[in-house]
Structure 1
Amino acid sequence: MSAEPAESRDLEYLTFVDYAVAKTTAELPEVDPVSMRLGLTLHRLSSALVYDWESTVHRPRGWSWGGFRVLFVLWLAGPLEAKRVAQLSGMSRAAVSALVRTLERDGLTSRQQAEHDGRAVVLDLTEAGHRAIADAYAAHNARERAWTSALTEREQTVLIGLLEKLTTSPAATEAKRRF
């Protein structure tokens, strides 16, 4: 927690959290500043991670963050129906459908009608898609290691446990999902 900037024009990306918490709790004293700080920090970290991965690993390969997520799910769990890819990637069916058109055009995925349901589509990686995602994930993981190297292995384990606790909390269970 850093010192609050004197004025909003002095704000930077990281100091905005302190400023936002101070301003919000001054106007709304019932706001829990610790929960607010945690929420803002998690959101900012998530955004920074995705931006870094996408700009350094995925965009140079011609993929969006969503495209990578589809390929990653298919690499590890495929072949799958499109609706399962949507569930496992945390995206809508429409988003997956749009992404698969591009990935298929680029020769990375294939689709075929499901045997059990003529309306369902089964997605899979092509050989080129498998090679591309394996190569991309090696680079992606190098960026993950760069980010997590700020923490000891023990700190990483504790943080994983805490984040998993949040993702299985009653609030997370009740949260609306995209799928």
Structure 2
Amino acid sequence: MPAEPVASEDLDYLTFVDYAVAKTTAELPAVDPVAMRLGLTLHRLTSALVYDWESTVHRPRGWSWGGFRVLFVLWLAGPMEAKRVAQLSGMSRAAVSALVNTLERDGLVSRTPSAHDRRAVLLSLTGAGHEAITTAYEAHNEREQAWAKSLSKDEQEQLIGLLDKLAGGPAASEAKRRF
């Protein structure tokens, strides 16, 4: 928490966390300030990371964050039905469907009828899609490295362990998900 209170007009996206915790706990003393800070910090950092990756790597290639996620899943997990892409990317089926329309138009993804279900379609990367995602991921990983270098290798491993523990906890298993 900052030593001196910050005026609301001097706040920025990340410093708003300290301000929000102080104001909230002053009005609602039962609020757990550490849990609040954890939630706000994780959300804001995730948003900042995604914005950075999208604006520096993916938008210049004509993709949204969602489009990258579809290509990434297809690249690593191989051809699959749209509902499975939705599950692995954490998006809705409708979002995947809309994104695939654009990716197919751009020659990055192809659709073929499923052999076992006439209603389903199999999505796969085209050759151009494979080239595009591998090139993009190299640039994406450069940005990941830029963010990660703020921590030592030991700190990175410790943070990964803590996040894995949080993701495997009871609240995470009870959380509603898109998939």
Query: Residue 70 of structure 1 contacts residue 96 of structure 1 at CA under 8 Å; is this kept in 2?
Result: yes
Cα deviation digits, residues 143-165 of structure 1 (max 9, x gap)? 00000000000000000010011
- State the partner residue of 1:9: 9
Q: What pairs up with 1:66-81 in 2 under 5 angstroms?
A: 66-81=66-81
- State the partner residue of 2:110: 110
Structure 2 counterpart SS, 1:119: coil
- State the partner residue of 1:36: 36
Q: Which runs of 4+ in 1 moved over 6 A?
A: none
Structure 2 counterpart SS, 1:57: helix
- State the partner residue of 1:56: 56
**Distance in 2 separating the partners of 1:109 and 1:145:** 28
| TM superposition shift of 1:9 | 1.9
Structure 1 counterpart SS, 2:122: strand
Structure 2 counterpart SS, 1:145: helix
Structure 1 counterpart SS, 2:123: strand
The answer for unaligned runs of 5 or more in structure 2 is none
Matched positions, count: 179
Query: Residue 6 of structure 2 contacts residue 19 of structure 2 at CA under 8 Å; is this kept in 1?
Result: no
Query: Residue 4 of structure 1 contacts residue 19 of structure 1 at CA under 8 Å; is this kept in 2?
Result: no
The answer for unaligned runs of 5 or more in structure 1 is none
The letter for the 2-side match of 1:90 is: G
- 1:154 equivalent to 2:154? Answer yes
CA 145–117 in structure 1, closer or farther in 2 if over 3 Å, else same: same
| TM superposition shift of 1:7 | 2.6
**What's the TM-score once normalised by structure 2's chain length?**
0.97
**Distance in 1 separating the partners of 2:3 and 2:57:** 35
Structure 1 counterpart SS, 2:85: helix
Cα deviation digits, residues 41-70 of structure 1 (max 9, x gap)? 001100000000000000000000000000
The letter for the 1-side match of 2:38 is: L
**Distance in 2 separating the partners of 1:6 and 1:77:** 47
Q: What pairs up with 1:79-158 in 2 under 5 angstroms?
A: 79-158=79-158
The letter for the 2-side match of 1:52 is: D
The letter for the 1-side match of 2:10 is: D
Q: Bigger CA drift: 4-13 or 113-122?
A: 4-13
- 1:174 equivalent to 2:174? Answer yes
| TM superposition shift of 1:17 | 0.8
**What's the TM-score once normalised by structure 1's chain length?**
0.97
Query: Residue 66 of structure 2 contacts residue 99 of structure 2 at CA under 8 Å; is this kept in 1?
Result: yes
| TM superposition shift of 1:6 | 4.2
Identity %: 79
CA RMSD of aligned residues (A): 0.9
| TM superposition shift of 1:39 | 0.5
Q: Bigger CA drift: 64-73 or 167-176?
A: 167-176
